[in-house]
Amino acid sequence: SQTIHQWPATLVQPVGSPLSLECTVEGTSNPNLYWYRQAAGRGLQLLFYSVGIGQISSEVPQNLSASRPQDRQFILSSKKLLLSDSGFYLCAWSLAGPRYGYTFGSGTRLTVV
């Protein structure tokens, strides 16, 4: 069966520090991968998605970047965090053309101080 792992679960980082959040999927090949951000009590904002290795689509121009160095690995990064980067980050995967929906990771709560 397919599983998705996302870490860390919680992170407190100072302003100006770098960020690296990692997401890996097991049990499937060539998944579509997604990064979302969710402010407290709010909806989901799509940040990046990838349909293959090295293929990244950015939905929101901002302080973040994403990379997909391996088929089932998706990394969200920042060189210098801002206070506004605080939030809950969710990774998800789907089959090509998500007609069966997404499976989400357990999320990372990021607080920038």
Partner 1 sequence: AQTVTQSQPEMSVQEAETVTLSCTYDTSESNYYLFWYKQPPSRQMILVIRQEAYKQQNATENRFSVNFQKAAKSFSLKISDSQLGDTAMYFCALFSGNTPLVFGKGTRLSVIA
| Footprint on residues 69-88 left by partner 1 (CB under 8 A) | 88
> Which of 14, 43, 54, 61 touches partner 1 (CB under 8 A)?
43
> Which of 14, 61, 69, 101 touches partner 1 (CB under 8 A)?
101
By CB under 8 A, residue 61 contacts partner 1 = no
Would strands 108-112 and 10-13 be described as parallel, antiparallel, or unpaired? parallel
Whole-number Cα distances in Å, 22 to 45, 48, 75: 18, 13, 5
Burial 20-59 (b: 16+ CB within 10 A, else e): ebbbbbeebeebbbbbbbeeeeeeeeebbbbeeeeebeee
**Which of 64, 59, 69 has its CA nearest to residue 86?**
64
Instruction: Write down the least CB distance from residue 1 to partner 1, Å.
Output: 15
Stretch that binds partner 1, among 23-31, 61-69, 71-79, 101-109 (CB under 8 A): 101-109
> Which of 19, 21, 34, 68 touches partner 1 (CB under 8 A)?
34
> Which of 84, 106, 111, 113 touches partner 1 (CB under 8 A)?
106
Instruction: Write down the least CB distance from residue 102 to partner 1, Å.
Output: 6
